[in-house]
Chains A and B, each alone.
Chain A
């Protein structure tokens, strides 16, 4: 018997959430004031949760490691946010969004959660517009939409290529409004160092003031981790430099199970790596696949000439180009889901058709789109017989309006002009579907400890569809947790303030201090980044786009070795009681070194290919991923067994009552 209770409400799928809301316990306003909630993280999930809970009357504390809540990594999301509004009248519906998300996730997500997400998606857009989020609009003044990978409807709302920024600033403004009222107390430049459990329940955190180094105790009746994803375990990723797994790792060690840690999303459209000095990778929004066409040369000799710098993209005639996504997947073409697009790029590059010096890049070409838009504009403007130059000019203006900031960004980084020559792109680590295991109420296996947003494992299964993370973060924060938390907190109305002078707080604080001392006193020879880069390379080579049992076993041994060296020989400068970013980084990398190993265990155990997880042992003759529903239709929920011990696997069986499991096909 599984120890996991996912608490999925009974009843038909489209009634579960409504029924749940009708019957969940409420906390009355007078009692809410006496209940403290800690929210760690101020991204979309954290800010929206904190603002909503504060509006309801709870007393909230929010923590983030940046100098302002507005800088959480959600700010960097580009392309858009999905919602089943069906404003385009193209057949969208709650069911379709639900279906697309389950299918896109390769049937490894929980039906009830995903359906709820689709249901609340429309309210998110309403809320954001009311907050003043300036979404793109049509000339009639109504909201515009675009399409994204893995779907055949236009349901993505956007604000140029800065949707995450605009949504986060909306949530930040809601948060600021509550800070002004005193219902939220904000702790910038603070890092959560550990969870404190009292009588088995999460009752607070130990935090570090990153400016002074002071270690602080904060108590609460419930703790929400909204700490984002852990893509930086690969060292190079599209995540911000500070994005980390530490909060989730601390929770894991305190008894929260880690769900599907190996499910990583490798995004197909990123700017390729340029050299060893590289500190991060930059995403080119997936929305670019809407209009851009992806290709490599069809002839090996052309590819080699390009790699040697003897030919350029524009030298390759149309007939000698291989639009491999359109060739392999005629139904979805360039809009296949991310995992499929990434693997197809890797396949072509591994076969020698890559288009930069390292052979690790493919083209993303806008020439056709520029022409197509140019012609439409010419017709709209009643210009008959427009010259090709005029058409190009008009087309470029449209492309600039839609994607201008992305094109600028590309130009800045690569030094090339994408309006004239195709962009070069290559897959990069982007998002982590895995995260803390949570039940329907978003509670982890530690009572009173919740996980929201990218930090939890929930709605995206083995592969997330574009524009669905923003939706999930805001759904969790605005529309789910405000209801579900009542079910737990209604038992806490008589508890009173949680004291911070208990032995539990004492012990947790001591552990935190000891670890900091250990890091500072090792006084070895190598800086933190040296270990992080080594870990990243092992992860990318052996637990990246393709994985096999032998490689994963090697990776586990190698990571254990790197971890040992790290603790014996890392050099962390400075002192504990000062602003010390190297020390903070050391703590985060130490946690990545444990997570990497856990991811490899998970990848090794899951001997099937599904979504972003591709096991070379499990593929069709054509090289497509092969799922194994008989043996692996479950969520892996890993339990910490003690330092140096192999983690324990718990399984949550996935039951599909509304969607039939089929092998995904985008052909």
Chain B
């Protein structure tokens, strides 16, 4: 396949940045999207140009490191996959592909397509855990957890922290990400003890980090590669109201 790539180039946080055209050819449909960028980068290096910086690590859709806004969609045209799982068979010969970074005030650009998502870490640090020290736990089977609850907690816990929800929201809200963690720990009996303080702390940190408000557009759920459900946001809102009343 032959393609025209229009890629966001930005030297560093201070630079203004712009879209640059890169024609590529000999792209196999079996290549992954990131392998296509690898090929382009090797060509750029051989020519003495600066390769395109993008984040990636596991390349199997689990670490949450890859990002990319492709033709106006977070993680590209397919639903329920990350950019690293996207294959070129999703594109046609002759296509023009726009490749841009996540855009959100809380995710400043580092270089080209790489952004700083450490705000997510700070939200987790504000309360996304159960305070149990090593060695202090009782036998794992001493508290039974109904299978439906365990499954629901698991579904929420599969969030990979990629930030696509934020990038695809017109308000750059982090509600889906935050609610996934709040839900996981609120559903499990082990997490109930700290549930109220947790939701208050995490929500207040989220606001402080500069993420926008949720106006229920639902774009996040559509673009989330892990299918994290909006019901988590509803649950977080209930948890938050319940806790705020008591606080």
Q: A131 touching B130 by the CB < 8 A rule?
A: yes
Instruction: Convert B131-160 into 0s and 1s, putting 1 for each residue whose CB lies closer than 8 angstroms to a CB of A.
Output: 111111111110111110011011001101
- Answer yes or no: B114 CB below 8 A from chain A CBs: yes
In the bound complex, what is the Cα–Cα distance between A128 and B154 (angstroms)?
Answer: 13
Name B111-143 residues within 8 Å CB distance of A.
Answer: 111, 114, 116-118, 120-121, 124-126, 128-141, 143
- Answer yes or no: B200 CB below 8 A from chain A CBs: no
Partner of A581, one of B35, B53, B138: B53
Q: B45 touching A482 by the CB < 8 A rule?
A: no
- Answer yes or no: B216 CB below 8 A from chain A CBs: no
In the bound complex, what is the Cα–Cα distance between A279 and B36 (angstroms)?
Answer: 10
Q: B145 touching A137 by the CB < 8 A rule?
A: yes
Q: A242 touching B147 by the CB < 8 A rule?
A: no
Instruction: Convert A36-62 into 0s and 1s, putting 1 for each residue whose CB lies closer than 8 angstroms to a CB of B.
Output: 000000000000100110010000000
Name B49-93 residues within 8 Å CB distance of A.
Answer: 49-51, 53, 55-65, 80-81, 85, 87, 89
Q: B154 touching A277 by the CB < 8 A rule?
A: no
What is the number of residues of chain B that contact chain A, defined by CB distance less than 8 Å?
78
Name A13-51 residues within 8 Å CB distance of B.
Answer: 48, 51
In the bound complex, what is the Cα–Cα distance between A282 and B82 (angstroms)?
Answer: 15
- Answer yes or no: B190 CB below 8 A from chain A CBs: yes
Residues of A contacting B55 with CB < 8 Å? Answer: 67
Q: A76 touching B125 by the CB < 8 A rule?
A: no
Q: B118 touching A415 by the CB < 8 A rule?
A: no
Q: A73 touching B30 by the CB < 8 A rule?
A: no
Q: How far is the CB of B178 from chain A (nearest CB, A)?
A: 14
Q: How far is the CB of A159 from chain B (nearest CB, A)?
A: 6
Q: B35 touching A277 by the CB < 8 A rule?
A: yes
Q: A242 touching B57 by the CB < 8 A rule?
A: yes
Q: Which of A166-174, A416-424, A597-605 contacts B (4 or more CB under 8 A)?
A: A166-174
Partner of A70, one of B44, B64, B81, B133: B64
In the bound complex, what is the Cα–Cα distance between A525 and B125 (angstroms)?
Answer: 45
Name B26-56 residues within 8 Å CB distance of A.
Answer: 28, 30-32, 34-35, 38-39, 41-42, 44-46, 48-51, 53, 55-56
- Given A141-B144, A482-B134, A134 and B62 contact (CB-CB distance below 8 Å): no
Q: A188 touching B118 by the CB < 8 A rule?
A: yes
Q: How far is the CB of B170 from chain A (nearest CB, A)?
A: 24
Contact residues on A (Cβ < 8 Å of other chain), bracket: 35 or more
In the bound complex, what is the Cα–Cα distance between A132 and B137 (angstroms)?
Answer: 11
> Looking at B38, B45, B118, B128, which has the most chain A CB atoms within 10 Å of its CB?
B45
- Answer yes or no: B210 CB below 8 A from chain A CBs: no
Q: A240 touching B32 by the CB < 8 A rule?
A: no
Q: A123 touching B12 by the CB < 8 A rule?
A: no
Q: How far is the CB of B195 from chain A (nearest CB, A)?
A: 11
- Answer yes or no: B104 CB below 8 A from chain A CBs: no
- Answer yes or no: A68 CB below 8 A from chain B CBs: yes
Q: A166 touching B157 by the CB < 8 A rule?
A: yes
Q: A277 touching B31 by the CB < 8 A rule?
A: yes
Q: Is the interface of B mostly helix, strand, loop or mixed?
A: loop
- Answer yes or no: B184 CB below 8 A from chain A CBs: yes
Residues of A contacting B80 with CB < 8 Å? Answer: 408
In the bound complex, what is the Cα–Cα distance between A571 and B51 (angstroms)?
Answer: 12
Instruction: Convert A468-512 into 0s and 1s, putting 1 for each residue whose CB lies closer than 8 angstroms to a CB of B.
Output: 000000000011001000000000000000000000000000000
- Given A179-B125, A582-B51, A55 and B133 contact (CB-CB distance below 8 Å): yes
Residues of B contacting A138 with CB < 8 Å? Answer: 147
Q: A131 touching B132 by the CB < 8 A rule?
A: yes
- Answer yes or no: A366 CB below 8 A from chain B CBs: no
In the bound complex, what is the Cα–Cα distance between A377 and B132 (angstroms)?
Answer: 39
Residues of A contacting B120 with CB < 8 Å? Answer: 68
- Given A126-B140, A579-B53, A409 and B128 contact (CB-CB distance below 8 Å): no
- Answer yes or no: B219 CB below 8 A from chain A CBs: no
> Looking at B51, B140, B158, which has the most chain A CB atoms within 10 Å of its CB?
B140
Q: A76 touching B62 by the CB < 8 A rule?
A: yes
- Given A52-B134, A137-B147, A527-B46, A129 and B61 contact (CB-CB distance below 8 Å): no
- Answer yes or no: A369 CB below 8 A from chain B CBs: no
- Answer yes or no: A200 CB below 8 A from chain B CBs: no
Q: B30 touching A573 by the CB < 8 A rule?
A: no
Q: A126 touching B138 by the CB < 8 A rule?
A: yes
Q: A123 touching B136 by the CB < 8 A rule?
A: no
- Answer yes or no: A298 CB below 8 A from chain B CBs: no
- Given A129-B190, A180-B126, A573 and B51 contact (CB-CB distance below 8 Å): yes
Name A111-170 residues within 8 Å CB distance of B.
Answer: 123, 125-132, 134-143, 159-160, 162, 165-166, 169
- Answer yes or no: A652 CB below 8 A from chain B CBs: no
- Answer yes or no: A253 CB below 8 A from chain B CBs: no
Q: How far is the CB of A627 from chain B (nearest CB, A)?
A: 35
Residues of A contacting B45 with CB < 8 Å? Answer: 527, 571, 573, 582
- Given A130-B138, A135-B150, A176-B125, A142 and B144 contact (CB-CB distance below 8 Å): yes
Residues of A contacting B57 with CB < 8 Å? Answer: 66, 71, 73, 240-242
Q: A174 touching B147 by the CB < 8 A rule?
A: no
Q: B125 touching A180 by the CB < 8 A rule?
A: yes
Q: How far is the CB of B51 from chain A (nearest CB, A)?
A: 6
Q: How far is the CB of B107 from chain A (nearest CB, A)?
A: 11
Q: A136 touching B150 by the CB < 8 A rule?
A: yes
Q: B131 touching A241 by the CB < 8 A rule?
A: no
- Given A211-B110, A529-B42, A126 and B137 contact (CB-CB distance below 8 Å): yes
Q: A527 touching B42 by the CB < 8 A rule?
A: yes
Partner of B85, one of A68, A160, A165, A412: A412
- Given A73-B57, A173-B130, A123 and B150 contact (CB-CB distance below 8 Å): no
Closest B residue, CB atoms, query A138: B147
Q: A127 touching B132 by the CB < 8 A rule?
A: yes
- Given A70-B64, A582-B45, A173 and B128 contact (CB-CB distance below 8 Å): yes
- Answer yes or no: A574 CB below 8 A from chain B CBs: yes
Q: A240 touching B131 by the CB < 8 A rule?
A: no
Q: B154 touching A166 by the CB < 8 A rule?
A: yes
- Given A176-B124, A240-B59, A134 and B157 contact (CB-CB distance below 8 Å): yes
Known: A125-B140, A127-B132, A579-B110. 4 other contacts (CB 8 A): A127-B134, A130-B132, A143-B140, A415-B89
The 8 A-B residue pairs with the shortest CB-CB distance, nearest first, are A141-B144, A173-B129, A130-B137, A134-B154, A126-B137, A129-B140, A52-B134, A180-B125
A–B pairs, 19, beta carbons within 8 Å: A55-B134, A68-B117, A68-B120, A71-B65, A71-B161, A131-B129, A132-B153, A132-B191, A134-B154, A136-B154, A174-B129, A174-B132, A188-B121, A282-B59, A282-B60, A413-B85, A415-B87, A571-B48, A573-B49
Residues of A with Cβ closer than 8 Å to B?
48, 51-52, 55, 66-71, 73, 75-76, 85, 87, 123, 125-132, 134-143, 159-160, 162, 165-166, 169, 172-174, 176-177, 179-180, 186, 188, 211, 240-242, 274-275, 277-280, 282, 408-409, 412-413, 415, 478-479, 482, 525-527, 529-530, 571, 573-574, 578-579, 581-582
